Amino acid sequence: MREWWVQVGLLAVPLLAAYLHIPPPQLSPALHSWKSSGKFFTYKGLRIFYQDSVGVVGSPEIVVLLHGFPTSSYDWYKIWEGLTLRFHRVIALDFLGFGFSDKPRPHHYSIFEQASIVEALLRHLGLQNRRINLLSHDYGDIVAQELLYRFKQNRSGRLTIKSLCLSNGGIFPETHRPLLLQKLLKDGGMLSPILTRLMNFFVFSRGLTPVFGPYTRPSESELWDMWAGIRNNDGNLVIDSLLQYINQRKKFRRRWVGALASVSIPIHFIYGPLDPVNPYPEFLELYRLSKVFCYLYLDSELLNGPLLQGAGSHPALTCVVYVLYFHVVVCWNMSI
C-alpha cells in the first residue's frame, strides 16, 4: 500500500509541474490586431496599454472607456467603430494588472492608483484641459466614481468630466454579490495564491459566463480572447490582489457613492436586470432610496426589448444598440 502511494506521488509531481507551466494561449488574429494597433505609455516605471482612435473630424467630443473586471479594453472592440462615428477621439486603456498592461507582483493594486493612471494617460495625450465623456463598466465604474470625486473636489489631475455613463457595476457595496470564486480569491489568505495558479480556462469560462444575460453570452472564441488577456504577463497570478477592490469599495463607500450625489454634470446608468452580481430587485430598491443623481436606463421602450431586458452584468457590450444608446445619451447631454 505504501509503495502505491509513493508511485502516485512520483507521478503527480511532474504532472502538476507541467500543469503549472502551461503557456498562455496564443492571441487570436483579432486580439493580436487590437494589441498591434494600440500603444504604451509609462506610469511610474510601469507600461500601460491604451487605444486612441481619431473619429469624426470637427467634433470636439472625447470619450474615455473604462473596462471591467477581469478583462481589458478589448471589451469595447465591438462598439469601437460606432463610437468613432460619434466622437472625435475614442480612448481606452488596460488598467494596471489587466490585459496588455504590466502586472507587477507583489503590488498593492488600488482604485486610487487606477484613477491616477487615467489622469496620467490624458496628460500624456495632452488632453488634461479638455472636457471628457466617461463610459465605464463594472470595475471601471468605481474608477469613474473616484475620478468624479476628484473632479468635484478639484483635486489631483483635475480631470474635467463633461458626462458620465456607468453600466452594471457595484456602485452600492450592500447589493454586490461576488461569485464564490471571487470570494475565495479575495479572502482566501494563503489559499489564494494556490487558487490563482490552479485556475484554467475551464474554471474561468464556467465562472464568467453566468454573469452575462441569455442574449449576450460570449462565444467560446470570445472567452478564449478574454482568457488570453488574463494570462498575458501571468495576469492570473495577480487576480487575488486585484480583487481587493471589493474591500476598498466597502471602506470608501461614503466617498464613492457620495460622489454621485449633488453633481453638476449629467450622469447616466445602464442596468441589465439579470446581473447576478448586482441583483434585481435589490439594486434598484437601493438605487431608488438613495440620493444618487443618475438617470437610470432600464424601463424605456428601448430597454424593454428582448435584447437588454435579458442583459446581465455586461449589458449590451456585445451589441450595436449600446452604441446607439450612448449616442442618444451624449447628444442629450450636449443639449442641457
pLDDT of residue 14: 52
Q: What long-range pairs does 38-43 form, CB within 8 A, spacing at least 24?
A: 38/73, 38/100, 40/100, 41/120, 41/121, 41/124, 43/96, 43/116, 43/117, 43/120, 43/121
pLDDT of residue 5: 54
In this structure, are residues 159 and 150 in contact, taking their beta carbons and an 8 Å threshold? yes
pLDDT of residue 175: 85
Torsion-angle region of residue 273: left (phi > 0), alpha (psi -120 to 50) or beta?
Answer: alpha
Question: How many other CB atoms sit within 10 Å of the CB of residue 169?
Answer: 27
In this structure, are residues 274 and 312 in contact, taking their beta carbons and an 8 Å threshold? yes
Question: How many other CB atoms sit within 10 Å of the CB of residue 5?
Answer: 9
* 28, part of any domain: no
Strand order in the sheet with 267-270: 39-43, 46-54, 89-93, 62-66, 131-136, 160-167, 267-270, 295-297
Beta strand pairing status for 160-167 and 267-270?
A: parallel
- Alpha helical stretches, state H, the chain: 2-20, 29-37, 77-84, 111-124, 139-153, 180-187, 191-198, 201-208, 220-231, 239-242, 245-251, 253-258, 282-289, 306-309, 320-334
pLDDT tens digits, one per residue of 106-147: 999 999 999 999 999 999 999 988 999 999 999 999 999 999
Determine the structural domain holding residue 267 and report its residue range: 39-295
* 26, part of any domain: no
* 31, part of any domain: no
CATH code of the domain containing 233: 3.40.50.1820
Q: State the amino acid at position 50 in one-letter form.
A: Y
Residue with cell 442618444: 328
Angle made by CA atoms 249, 277, 207, in degrees to the nearest 5: 115
* 302, part of any domain: no
* 246, part of any domain: yes
Provide the grid cell at 94. 488596460
Predicted TM-score of the model (pTM) = 0.85
* 325, part of any domain: no
Q: State the amino acid at position 232 in one-letter form.
A: N
* 22, part of any domain: no
How far is CA 251 from its chain centroid?
Answer: 20
Distance CA 91, CA 113 (A): 19
**Phi, psi dihedral angles at 312 (to 5 degrees):** -105, -135
Nearest alpha carbon to residue 155 among 111, 116, 114: 116
Helix (H) / strand (E) element for 160: namely strand 160-167
* 222, part of any domain: yes
pLDDT of residue 130: 92
Low-confidence residues of the chain: pLDDT under 70: 1-21, 155-157, 188, 291-336
Nearest alpha carbon to residue 169 among 299, 267, 314, 295: 314
Q: What domain count does the chain have?
A: 1
Provide the grid cell at 124. 500624456
Distance CA 60, CA 27 (A): 35
pLDDT tens digits, one per residue of 28-76: 999 999 999 999 999 999 999 999 999 888 788 999 999 999 999 999 9
